[in-house]
Each structure stands twice: as C-alpha cells, then as structure tokens.
Chains A and B, each alone.
Chain A
C-alpha cells in the first residue's frame, strides 16, 4: 500500500510559474515569479522585489538566486499583510 507523500521539491515544482516568497537566512527576502530551480534549490525568479533588512525594496527583472542562503519558501506569497509579520 503506497502512501502518497508530497516531497519538498515536488512542492517547489508545483510553484513553477506562480508567485513565490523566498526568505533568506539573514534579514532579506525576495518575492517573484518562479521560473525554475535545480537540485540545490538555486532559483530563477522573474519580476522580483528584493526586501532588505532596512525595509528597502528593489525591483529586479530576472535573477538567479543562490540557494545557499535560502531559508524558507512560501508559495503564492507576498510579504506584508500578516499579523505580527515585523
């Protein structure tokens, strides 16, 4: 009897083509459209907003984000609008 598990990378794969919110280890976040990723979860993102530790926002067209410092991925997410988020 095979139980159907959702593997982490499968969840990320489901997000390809939609918005994703990426939280890094340090106080930095990215929000963009996920174009693709690899086994190391290096990510190609499009139409990206970079949020730094000061709260500044930068817009980037298309980036390859190094998976080394990625902490958390939230599908369909945009930062803000959550209780106690800061």
Chain B
C-alpha cells in the first residue's frame, strides 16, 4: 500500500528483518481466512472467520459469535465491522 492519491493507512514504515508479520499489512494478509477475535472500543468481542479487511480496519467476518462481557450473546452469518470501532484484531 503506497502513499498515492488514495490515502490508505497501513503504510510499511518499520524496517523489516522478518517480513512475515512485521507490519500491520503483512499481519492482516497472514491471518485472512483464519479464525480471529475482534474487540471493539465498546468492549464487545466478535469471533469468526476473517473474510477480508482493508486499510481502515473495516472487517468482514463469517460464522461470527458476539461476546458481551465475555458471554456469548448472538451469532451471525456475515458481519461487517466499521474500522473506526475496532480496538484490536487477534489471531486465535
């Protein structure tokens, strides 16, 4: 992701000794397709299969479980999470 006219975050900034999961873009490429846990700023957590993610941390998940206060509350087939709400994306 280069800094051109379309400004997307996740520009590779740090030096790469190990390219695999060094920077955010590489990490996201690596975990796409895998099961992830996404915590939002509100504390609600979503676990599901990571379909895709973009430079703004917008996320599409499949087979999603919604955990509020650590307790399973809902399940969804497809979920779109707006990136501004995302606290972290974790591999599980």
Cα A30 to Cα B88 in complex, Å, equals: 11
**A32 CB to nearest B CB, Å:** 11
Asked if B88 and A63 sit within 8 Å, CB to CB, the answer is yes
Determine whether A60 belongs to the interface, using a CB cutoff of 8 Å to chain B.
Answer: yes
Asked if B14 and A38 sit within 8 Å, CB to CB, the answer is yes
**Cβ 8 A contact of A65, one of B10, B17, B87:** B87
Asked if B24 and A36 sit within 8 Å, CB to CB, the answer is yes
Query: How many residues of B sit at the interface, in one of the four size bands?
Result: 20 to 34
Asked if B28 and A9 sit within 8 Å, CB to CB, the answer is no
Asked if B13 and A9 sit within 8 Å, CB to CB, the answer is yes
Q: Specify which chain B residues have a CB less than 8 angstroms from the CB of A68 in the assembled complex.
A: 84
A9, A13, A16, A52, most chain B CB atoms within 10 A:
A16
Asked if B90 and A63 sit within 8 Å, CB to CB, the answer is yes
Asked if B10 and A38 sit within 8 Å, CB to CB, the answer is yes
Asked if A62 and B27 sit within 8 Å, CB to CB, the answer is yes
Cα A48 to Cα B14 in complex, Å, equals: 20
Q: A44-B24, A64-B27 are in contact. Are A39 and B91 (CB under 8 A)?
A: no
Asked if B57 and A37 sit within 8 Å, CB to CB, the answer is no
Asked if A13 and B91 sit within 8 Å, CB to CB, the answer is no
**B13 CB to nearest A CB, Å:** 5
